[in-house]
Amino acid sequence: MASGTLLFGTGADAETLIPLFVRGAQAAIVTDLLCDHLAEVGPAQGTVGDAGFVPELAASWSWNRDSSAVTFHLNPKARWHDGTPVHGSDVAYTFALLRDPATASPVGPDLAMVDSVRASTTDSLAVTVYFGTRQPDR
């Protein structure tokens, strides 16, 4: 085995390595190792609000006054596989793909409460998710 090579065994083959199209557990396990989420549910997942989340791609986040929008501030060290920095516009584009019916992503319906996602025009590392209606659990 070459230096720098990781061998990872799973119980079955992943049906895809493209996060937009993950349906099964095996693909989720593998893509979760390859791609960061904005934040991950941590061990305190039963807490009220977002205290149970652990930063991943997002270094931090902040809610607006009425909890109808959350702005994610991306980790400035976040990079694509080729070393290109990750920007808020990349996150907004990914959300657009997930929500587009033509993409037919199995994750799309989970984002029904999202009204829009916009990258900041003044901060390349910020992206805001807007919700159509305020939810008491946010």
Q: What is the 3-state secondary structure (H, E, C) of 47-102?
A: CCCCCCEEECCEEEEEECCCCCEEEEEECCCCECCCCCECCHHHHHHHHHHHHCCC
Superfamily of domain 19-131: Dipeptide-binding Protein; Domain 1 (3.90.76.10)
- Percentage, residues of the chain above pLDDT 70: 89
Domain locations in the chain as residue ranges: 19-131
Longest dimension (CA), the chain: 54
User: Is residue 138 scored above 70 in pLDDT?
Assistant: no
Q: Are 14 and 27 in contact (CB under 8 A)?
A: yes
* The overall pTM is greater than 0.95: no
Residues 48-68: tens digit of each pLDDT: 567 678 899 999 999 998 889
Q: What is the mean pLDDT of residues 100-110?
A: 91
Q: What would the two tokens of residue 134 be? A: 């305020």
